[in-house]
Amino acid sequence: MSVLELRNISKRYGAIQALNNVSLAIEPGEVVGLMGDNGAGKSTLVKVIAGNFAPTSGDVFISDQKMAFHKPLDAQKAGIEVVYQDLAICNNMSAASNVFLGREPTRKIGPIKVVDYAFMRKRSAELFARLKSETRPRDLVHKMSGGQRQAVAIARTLLSDAKIVLMDEPTAAISVRQVAEVLNLIRQLSDHGIAVVLISHRMPDVFDVASKVVVLRRGELVANKKASASSPEEITGLITGAIESA
Amino acid sequence: MANPSLADVINRSQHHGWAARIVNQQIFWVFLAAVFACLALTVLTDSFATERNLFNVTRNFAFVGIIALGMTAVIASGGIDLSVGSTLVISAMTVSVIMSAGMPFWAGCIAALAVSLLVGAVNGVLIAYAKMPPFVVTLGMLSVARSLAMVLSDNKMIYEFGPDHDFLLWLGGGATFGLPHPLIIMIILACLTAFAFRHLRWGQHLFAIGGNENAAVLTGIPVARIKVSVYMFSALMAGIAGVLEVGWLGGVTTNLGQAMELTVIAAAVIGGANLAGGGGTAFGAVVGALLIEVIRNSLILLGISTFWQGTFVGSFIVIAVAFDRFRQKKV
């Protein structure tokens, strides 16, 4: 059973065909490297999956159930979480507050609903432990390393029972050591049976964690194969068009 | 510690010990400055530490302190409210006009606060939904609200407040247990604001908006609604201060609260509100207001011309922001 299946997805913006007949299936716990040059349709595909907009034609299935997302919240409810490139994190707040941003748990004191900090700290500490990250719930994000920030953003996706996590260029702007940290986080997600779609330009990162590599070129899916059966050279050829398809 | 328990990890924090944590706060130094100024004045002048002068200081700073609470919320959410002085006067004028027409205090008070909330709602809607810059919207409101107060009162001074005249004067100018009423109300409001900042989702959300508005949008925080509520909160605080100030002065003219926005912003910023958004505390607003009032009072007592006050208040804003920049760089 695939956790996510795309069938013949097309998306048109007026005369521009951003996605053309893309079909793809992702298994639970699979890490898929989604690659392609700028304008190849990666972002469009991610936005279709995340419910930012509906495809012009084609269907999205989650756990073999047909879905129709009208807004990102619909996708989130179906188990799709997005880690944005800028991480959508507030530097002035603690790690725990950031994990629960917009979904703060409350408890009642008389008629007043107050934010339950104790629960937030406990739960986020558990999530960081699960991710094997050393991030501390009370610390301000402002003072954290890039890897710890990623952990905060990823812990957020674990709050709800996510089935798929979409990550947009998580390793683009951080140091080499932090990249290793982020790749470890991705492995942790995978170990917990969560599928990860990793959008990246960085070939070594993709080959490091991804079990499957998918290449888009001009809105078409030109490759979908096991990472172990491919090579960075082949993928580069596929991205640029030197190799037609694989 | 090879294998720290979960509780250890939760309780770990970057600052070690409460002393280090306190010394790291801007507000600690501001508070120290205020205390130092008070001590210096007690030694240098005969008139500072008199009961009468202290009563005046505490009452005067309460008005600025109350409005600074609202201003701190606005600044923490990443905005600014330049219309507080005008909101104060339109509230003061509304309560005065209604009471002088023979209506009871509660009717005038409710109307004044309703008008203030309306002012805040207009500000908030234009900023949050029409996406106009807060600076422009509230600058426009600064002019509009004061002009409406003039229209409302025909620009006359009002000093007769109908049947509840004495109650109004008692509320704004009286004292209980030796504490001026505006001070008591400021303390209550400061506690409520501190609680809301820290313990309500409203507080979390407004600091999140100030910290990273884009993140707030992406995580599903109702950003526009929160923003409107923040400007309404600021206007409500100005409205409450307006009603109290009428009672203290025993009369109201339309130049009440002129240029007050600058003092209030200075109080909030000195108290640690971050003009870039995302930072500020209720306690800071109060301490900031206190420091400004003590300095103002000391200028008078030391026989320095009141013309210098603007120089001090203006410089304070700049110095507080510079101090904050410097601290951020160091970290």
Query: Looking at residue B331, what is its pLDDT?
Result: 47
The structural domains of chain B, with segments of one domain joined by +, span 57-257+276-282
| Lookup: tokens for B132 | 């106009």
Tell me which residues of chain A have a pLDDT lower than 70: 173
Query: Looking at residue A65, what is its pLDDT?
Result: 83
User: Do B53 and B45 form a contact (C-beta atoms < 8 A)?
Assistant: no
CA distance to partner chain A, nearest, from residue B219 (Å): 5
User: Do A201 and A172 form a contact (C-beta atoms < 8 A)?
Assistant: yes
| Lookup: tokens for B282 | 């209720």
Query: Looking at residue B219, what is its pLDDT?
Result: 79
Rounded Cα gap, residues B258 and B142, in angstroms: 10
Query: Looking at residue A117, what is its pLDDT?
Result: 85
A97 to B204: CB separation less than 8 angstroms, yes or no:
yes
Query: Looking at residue B72, what is its pLDDT?
Result: 94
B278 to A90: CB separation less than 8 angstroms, yes or no:
yes
Rounded Cα gap, residues B102 and B108, in angstroms: 10
Query: Looking at residue B1, what is its pLDDT?
Result: 39
Q: Which residues of A4-20 are buried (b: 16+ CB within 10 A; e: fewer)?
A: bbbbebbbeeeeebbbb
pTM for this model (two decimals): 0.82
Interface ipTM > 0.85 = no
Taken in order of first residue, the domains within chain A and their CATH numbers are 1-79+171-246 (3.40.50.300), 89-160 (no CATH)
| Lookup: tokens for B164 | 């509840």
Closest listed residue to residue B288, CA positions, set B305, B270, B303: B270
At position B48, the amino acid (one-letter code) is F
Query: Looking at residue B186, what is its pLDDT?
Result: 93
Per residue, the 3-state secondary structure of chain A, as one string, reads CCCEEEEEEEEEECCEEEEEEEEEEECCCCEEEEECCCCCCHHHHHHHHCCCCCCCEEEEEECCEEECCCCHHHHHHCCEEEECCCCCCCCCCEHHHHHCCCCCCEEEECCEEEECHHHHHHHHHHHHHHCCCCCCCCCEHHHCCHHHHHHHHHHHHHHCCCCEEEEECCCCCCCHHHHHHHHHHHHHHHHCCCEEEEECCCHHHHHHHCCEEEEEECCEEEEEEEHHHCCHHHHHHHHHCCCCCC
Closest listed residue to residue B78, CA positions, set B314, B223, B326, B276: B276
pLDDT in tens, chain B (331 residues): 345 566 665 555 544 566 666 666 677 777 888 888 888 888 887 777 787 888 888 888 899 999 999 999 999 999 999 999 999 999 999 998 888 888 888 888 999 999 999 999 999 999 999 999 999 999 999 999 999 988 988 878 888 787 887 888 888 887 788 788 899 999 999 999 999 998 898 999 999 999 888 888 877 788 899 999 999 999 999 999 999 999 888 888 888 888 888 889 989 988 888 888 888 888 889 988 988 888 888 888 888 887 888 888 788 788 877 877 776 665 4
Chain A residues lying within 8 Å of B278, measured CB to CB: 90-93
User: Do A69 and B183 form a contact (C-beta atoms < 8 A)?
Assistant: no
A88 to B221: CB separation less than 8 angstroms, yes or no:
no
Closest listed residue to residue B122, CA positions, set B138, B133, B108, B109: B138
Which residues in A have their CB inside 8 Å of a CB on B? Answer: 73, 84, 86-93, 97, 101-104, 106, 112-115, 121-122, 125-126, 128-129, 136-140, 143, 156
At position A121, the amino acid (one-letter code) is R
Mutating which of A76, A90, A98 best tests the B interface, going by the most B Cβ atoms within 10 A? A90
Query: Looking at residue A234, what is its pLDDT?
Result: 84
CA-to-CA dists, residue B33 to B26, B146, B292, angstroms: 11, 35, 11
